Structure 1
Amino acid sequence: MMELDQLRGGLVVSCQAYPGEPLRTPDVTARMVQAVVEGGARAVRVQGIADVRAAVGATDVPVVGLWKDGDDDVFITPTLRHALAVAEAGAHVVAVDGTRRTRPDGLTLAETITALKAEHDVAVMADCGSLDDAREAEQAGADILGTTLSGYTGERPRTDGPDLDLITLVHGTCSAPVMAEGRVHRPDQAAAALAAGAFAVCVGTAITHPTTITGWFREALG
C-alpha cells in the first residue's frame, strides 16, 4: 500500500472529462496527468478503467482511481466488481461511494472494503456526504475520508465553496485523514480547507475542466 504521508498537506488533482467531451480519451487524460504533476500535484484522481491504466503508465505519483457507472444514487465505484477492476487497473487508491446508502450489489461498505483488500494491496478513499458517513466509513476500513459528496446526498446544504464545516467535523471526530474535495475553485479555498483540518485537498474542475472554466468567464461577461 502507498504511504499516505506522500499526500500530507499536498494537492491532488482530479483529471476527468465527461462522456462525449473532446478531452474524454485516455491519451488526453494521461497528458493532463503529466501536466498537473509537473505543476506540483502530489497525486491524481482519475475516472474509468482505461484512464486509470493510462494515468498509472504516465506518472510515478499515486493514482486515485474510480469507476462511475449506473444511474442509481450510488454510482462512484458502486460495487465490489467495480472496485476490484479499478485496483486491477493499477490504482494505488480506490475511491468508492462512502455514504450509508444501499449499494447496487447489496454488499455493505465494510464487506466491499474487506473483500477488496483481501485481493489487492490498495488504500481506500470513501467519498462521503456527511459526518455520519465518515464515521461509518472509517469503521468499515476506509483509509481516507473524502468530503466529495457533501451537498449531493440531501444531508447537508450545498455550499458555494468547499464544506469547511464538514472538514472540521470529520477531522475532529475521526482518526483517518480527511481529503477535502468538492467545489474547491480557488487557491484560497484550498488553503482554507487545509486550515480547517484537511490532510490533503483534491481539486478538479477549476484545473482540468476547460469547458466549465470557460463558462464561468462567459457568464461573468454577461
Structure 2
Amino acid sequence: MKTLKKNAFIVSCQAEEGEPLFGKETMVKMSIAAQMGGADAIRSLYPDVVKEVKNVVSIPIIGITKNRNLKGAFITTTKKDIDELVQAKADFIALDCTRRERPEPLPELFNYLKSKYPNIGIIADIADIDDVKNIIPLKPDYIATTLSGYTDYSINRPCPDYELIREIIKITDIPVIAEGNLSTPLEARKAILNGAYAVTVGTAITRPQIITQRFKEYLADFQDDELLAVGIDIGGTWTRGVLVDRFGIIKDSDKVRTASTGKEVISNMLSLIKKLKTEETHFLGVASGGRIDFKTGVVGFSTGLIPDWKGVGLADIVEKEFNIRPIVDNDANCASYFQHFITDEDNMLMITVGTGIGGGIINDGRIVRGAKGGGGEIGHIIYPGNTKECSCGKVGCVETILSGRYLKENIYGKEGKEVYKKIREYSKVMAWFIDTLKATLDFDKCYLGGVLPNYGDEFLENIKNSFKQISNEKNADFINYSDLGEFAGARGAALLSLHKGEI
C-alpha cells in the first residue's frame, strides 16, 4: 500500500455535475496546477476523471465517487464504486464512514477492498468522534474529518474542527487527515499543529464560484452610493457624533453633554445618529467608555462615569432603531484606531486623558481588546503609594491622579509655585505610566490625547524629561500629543464600521 507523506498538503480537485468547472478537461488542468503549486496528493471525483488525472500527475490520487440521490452516506458507498476507482488507477479510496443510511454495509466494503485490492489505501471520511469509534475496528489507513458539519448529527461542530482532530488522536494511532472548512494557509497549518497527519483543502482553491461568492458577500454591504458612516463617541462628559466618508473626513458633526442617566444617554445617542445619518449612510459605529464585549456590543463593565451603563446592549438598541448592525467598541480603542489609520503605525499606544484615563493599544496592526473587552483598561493600573479611591471601586488607580478631572482641579487655570510642583508631579507619574506600559507592550509610538494637548508643548516636554530621567531609553521623541482633535473616537468608531471591525 502506498502511503501519504507526513504533513502532506492535499488538494481536492472536484466539480460535480451542474457546477461551472464540471468535466474531465477542467479537472485535469486544475490537478496539474495543484501539482505545480506543490500539492503532495490530489483528491479526485469520478473514475473517468481519476483516470485522466493519473495520466498527467506524478503524485498520489485519492479517488472518490458521489451519489447525491442517496438519502444518507453518498461518498463511495458500493463495491461497484470501488471497482471503478481501482480500474482508474486511484492510489487511495475514500469511503463515507458516517452513521447514516447506506446501500451496502460498511464492514463489507472494508473487507472487499482489503481482500481484493490490498495495495489500495483506505481513507475513512467521518463527521464526529462516534464515527471514529465505529470504524477503528475496521482499521482504515487514514481517518479524514471531511464530513464534520455536513451530517445532521454534526451540523453544530466548530469550523474548522480542530477539536475533532485532538479527540481522534487521543483514542487511536490511525493518522488523521484534516479536511473540511479550511479556508486559509494559517488554518491548514493550525490543523497540522493540532495533530493532523496531513491536510486537505478544496473549495478555497478549486471552486472559483465559491471564492467569488465569498468576496462578493464581504463587499455586499457596499451599495451603489457614497460610503458614509456615522460614528458616536459616548464619554463621561460629552457625547460626540460625526458623519465621515471612507477616508475619515468629517462631513458633519455635533455633540451634546452626556446625560445623567443611562436612558437619557441612549436617547441622545439615537438623536445624534438621526441628525447625522443620510439616506446614503449604511454604516454605524459607537464608541463608549467601559469594558465592551466587541462581539455582542454589550457594555460588560462600567466604572460609573456613565450612569446605569453596565449591561446595556448598545448594538441591539441601535440595530432595532435603524435596521443597521453597528460596530461597538471601547472609546479609547476607537481613538487609537483612528490614530493608526491616519499615521499608519502598527505598534502604538494611545492614552486618552478625559474624565478618566483610556488606553488604546495597537499591536502588529490590530486592536488589543482582550478576552472580555478589558484590553487597554490601563487607567486602572495601581500607582504605588496612591491612596485615592477610584470610581471602579479600587484604591490607587492611576487615573485618579492623571485624569482630566485631576488636571482641572489641580492645574487648569492656576498659577504659582504650587502649580509648577503639581505639573512636575503629574509629569513624573505619566512618565512612570508610559515606561511601565512600554516595558509590557514594546510600542513604537505613544500618543497623548483627550484634553492633555490643551495644556501645551511645555507640559509635554516636562513629561518627556521625566521619562528620560527614569527610563533606560534616553530618547523620548516617541511620546507626542495626538492632534486628531476631540472627534477622534467618533471618527474611529465610524471607520471601524466601514472596516467591519478589522484592521
Fold match, TM over 0.5? yes
The 3-state SS of whatever aligns with 1:192 is helix
How far off is 1:3 after superposition?
2.3
User: Within 1, Cα distance between the matches of 2:190 and 2:205?
Assistant: 17
Which residue in 2 is equivalent to 1:89? 88
Which residue in 2 is equivalent to 1:32? 30
Which residue in 1 is equivalent to 2:75? 76
Deviations 1:126-155 (A, max 9, x none): 100111211222211211101011112233
If asked which structure has higher relative contact order (CA below 8 Å, sep 6+), I would say 1
Mark the CA change 1:13 to 1:158 in structure 2 (over 3 Å): closer, same or farther. Answer: farther
How far off is 1:159 after superposition?
4.6
Deviations 1:152-194 (A, max 9, x none): 2233344563101001101111111000000000111111111
Map 1:197-212 onto structure 2 (within 5 A). Answer: 197-212=195-210
Given that residues 14 and 46 in structure 1 are in contact (C-alpha distance below 8 angstroms), is that contact kept between their aligned partners in structure 2?
yes
Which structure shows the bigger proportion of residues in strand conformation?
2
Deviations 1:70-90 (A, max 9, x none): 332111011122122212211
Map 1:1-222 onto structure 2 (within 5 A). Answer: 1-4=1-4, 6=5, 8-69=6-67, 70-105=69-104, 107=105, 109-120=106-117, 121-159=119-157, 161-222=159-220
Given that residues 114 and 141 in structure 1 are in contact (C-alpha distance below 8 angstroms), is that contact kept between their aligned partners in structure 2?
no
Counting aligned pairs with the same residue, the percent is 36
Which range moved further: 207-216 or 19-28?
Answer: 19-28
The 3-state SS of whatever aligns with 1:58 is coil
Unaligned runs of 5+ in 1: none
Deviations 1:91-124 (A, max 9, x none): 100001011333213x2x2221111122222001
Which range moved further: 199-208 or 17-26?
Answer: 17-26
User: Within 1, Cα distance between the matches of 2:198 and 2:19?
Assistant: 29
Name the count of aligned residue pairs. 218
Aligned residue type for 2:77? P
Which range moved further: 166-175 or 154-163?
Answer: 154-163
User: Within 2, Cα distance between the matches of 1:159 and 1:192?
Assistant: 17
User: Within 1, Cα distance between the matches of 2:167 and 2:153?
Assistant: 14
Aligned residue type for 2:200? C
User: Within 2, Cα distance between the matches of 1:214 and 1:153?
Assistant: 26
User: Within 2, Cα distance between the matches of 1:158 and 1:211?
Assistant: 25
Mark the CA change 1:30 to 1:158 in structure 2 (over 3 Å): closer, same or farther. Answer: farther
User: Within 1, Cα distance between the matches of 2:207 and 2:10?
Assistant: 15
The 3-state SS of whatever aligns with 1:185 is coil
Given that residues 43 and 64 in structure 1 are in contact (C-alpha distance below 8 angstroms), is that contact kept between their aligned partners in structure 2?
yes
C-alpha RMSD of matched pairs (Å): 1.4
Mark the CA change 1:117 to 1:92 in structure 2 (over 3 Å): closer, same or farther. Answer: same
Which range moved further: 159-168 or 145-154?
Answer: 159-168
The 3-state SS of whatever aligns with 1:161 is coil
| Greater Rg by CA | 2
How far off is 1:21 after superposition?
2.5
Given that residues 66 and 96 in structure 1 are in contact (C-alpha distance below 8 angstroms), is that contact kept between their aligned partners in structure 2?
yes
Given that residues 12 and 203 in structure 1 are in contact (C-alpha distance below 8 angstroms), is that contact kept between their aligned partners in structure 2?
yes
Unaligned runs of 5+ in 2: 221-503
User: Within 2, Cα distance between the matches of 1:140 and 1:189?
Assistant: 30
The normalised TM-score by structure 1 is 0.93
Aligned residue type for 1:127? D
Deviations 1:43-79 (A, max 9, x none): 0101111111111111110000000013321110111
Given that residues 126 and 145 in structure 2 are in contact (C-alpha distance below 8 angstroms), is that contact kept between their aligned partners in structure 1?
yes
The normalised TM-score by structure 2 is 0.42
The 3-state SS of whatever aligns with 2:55 is helix
Given that residues 65 and 86 in structure 1 are in contact (C-alpha distance below 8 angstroms), is that contact kept between their aligned partners in structure 2?
yes
User: Within 2, Cα distance between the matches of 1:149 and 1:100?
Assistant: 11
Aligned residue type for 1:75? F
